[in-house]
């Protein structure tokens, strides 16, 4: 029984031995591969910089689309109808018309903007306050901002517009949905273009890393021959080159994120100044943790793919003589 207890006690240690050995070898190889890169700082940095710029281009464009979509998401009032009433219509009549329209089942709400309120807002936002003060008469009419209900279909929206336009008190009905739809269609086209460009740039990164690993294999040809001569397998010889590709991809992805962050930092002041001119507060969206992880993961994945193809193609040609 004592022997059995001793065997059960040492069995877990023996079973964990291969795992510890495997992890130790990979940690040692990873550190050695990183050390080789650090011993050639200029050459390594140039390769990492090329990878970073290649990754930063689609990442930055995707961030631009993300901010544009966020800004357009706040344009809910673009789905409203702006009903401009007749110039000589009294304010009480405009209020009565607003109450009548708001009772419709296909209308969610109606906001009345009087001519005086519209002129005051225009003076504040246009910058022509002094010139507008010289006017003897307010040229702006009363306006109804009609928000359709969410249950409306495209056909019912057209019908609602026609009915509002046929009212005797109405002078003009303006709908701003067309340009919003065009804007979102443009964003979809840009998203697809970014994806296609990212795939092509990803292929370029694979080629760059593969060519770098190929040159590294050629420079270490004698070392590889000696390693194989003493019995090392292709897996053992392949490991440091795969780690080198991984480091290139990881460091390139990290530098790409840093480049985009620096670009956003440079744009903060111009964006704030532009937002101030339009009396608005624009918050620039940055990368989320998921997006940061995706960029780093893509960099690592491309690094491993490039190094794997290079090693698989050139390593089997090197055999001890």
Q: Alpha carbon 196 to chain centroid distance? A: 15
For residue 148, what pLDDT is reported? 85
pLDDT, the chain, mean: 82
Percent of the chain with pLDDT over 70: 82
Task: Quote the CA–CA distance of 168 and 83 in Å, as a whole number.
Answer: 12
CB 314 within 8 A of CB 214: yes
**Residue appearing with tokens 């008190």:** 169
pTM over 0.75: no
Question: What are the residue boundaries of the structural domains of the chain, listed by start?
Answer: 27-74+181-317, 81-175
Region 23-34: mean pLDDT is 86
Strand partners, 112: 144
For residue 297, what pLDDT is reported? 95
pLDDT tens for 119-172 read: 777 766 666 656 566 666 777 888 988 888 877 777 888 888 888 889 988 888
Highest mean pLDDT among 13-27, 42-56, 102-116: 42-56
Q: In the chain, which residue ranges form alpha helices assigned H by DSSP?
A: 2-38, 41-73, 91-102, 115-126, 129-132, 154-165, 177-219, 221-229, 234-277, 289-314
CATH class of 81-175: alpha beta
Region 223-252: mean pLDDT is 84
pLDDT tens for 16-27 read: 567 787 788 888
C-alpha to C-alpha distances, 270 to 65, 127, 160, 235, 259, nearest whole angstrom: 18, 20, 42, 53, 18
For residue 258, what pLDDT is reported? 95
Helix (H) or strand (E) holding 57: helix 41-73
Task: Quote the CA–CA distance of 181 and 176 in Å, as a whole number.
Answer: 9
pLDDT tens for 272-302 read: 777 676 566 667 788 889 999 999 999 999 9
Encoded tokens for 263: 């670009």
Confidence at 6, pLDDT banded by 50, 70, 90 = very low
- Examine the pLDDT at 227 and tell me if it is beyond 90: no
């Amino acid at each position: 029984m004592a022997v059995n207890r001793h065997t059960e006690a040492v069995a877990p240690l023996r079973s964990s031995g291969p795992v510890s050995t495997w992890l130790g070898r990979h940690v040692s190889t990873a550190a050695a591969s990183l050390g080789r890169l650090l011993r050639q700082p200029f050459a390594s940095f140039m390769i990492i910089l090329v990878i970073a710029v290649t990754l930063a281009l689609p990442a930055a464009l995707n961030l631009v689309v993300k901010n544009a979509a966020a800004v357009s998401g706040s344009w809910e009032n673009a789905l409203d109808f702006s009903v401009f009433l007749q110039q000589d219509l009294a304010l009480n009549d405009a209020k009565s018309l607003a109450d009548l329209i708001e009772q419709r089942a296909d209308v969610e709400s109606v906001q009345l903007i009087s001519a005086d309120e519209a002129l005051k807002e225009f003076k504040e936002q246009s910058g022509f306050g002094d010139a507008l003060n010289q006017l003897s008469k307010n040229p702006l009419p009363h306006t109804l901002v009609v928000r359709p209900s969410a249950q409306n279909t495209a056909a019912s929206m057209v019908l609602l517009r026609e009915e509002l336009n046929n009212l005797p008190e109405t002078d003009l009905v303006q709908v701003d949905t067309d340009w919003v739809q065009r804007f979102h269609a443009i964003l979809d086209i840009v998203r697809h273009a970014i994806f296609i460009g990212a795939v092509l740039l990803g292929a370029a990164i694979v080629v760059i890393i593969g060519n770098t690993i190929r040159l590294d294999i050629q420079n270490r040809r004698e070392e590889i021959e000696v390693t194989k001569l003493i019995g090392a397998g292709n897996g053992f010889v392949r490991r440091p080159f795969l780690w080198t590709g991984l480091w290139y991809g990881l460091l390139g992805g990290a530098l790409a994120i840093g480049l985009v962050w620096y670009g956003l930092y440079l744009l903060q002041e111009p964006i704030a100044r532009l937002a101030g001119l339009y009396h608005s507060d624009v918050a620039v969206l940055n990368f989320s943790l998921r997006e940061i992880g995706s960029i780093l993961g893509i960099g690592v994945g491309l690094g491993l793919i490039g190094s794997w193809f290079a090693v698989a193609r050139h390593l089997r040609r090197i055999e001890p003589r």
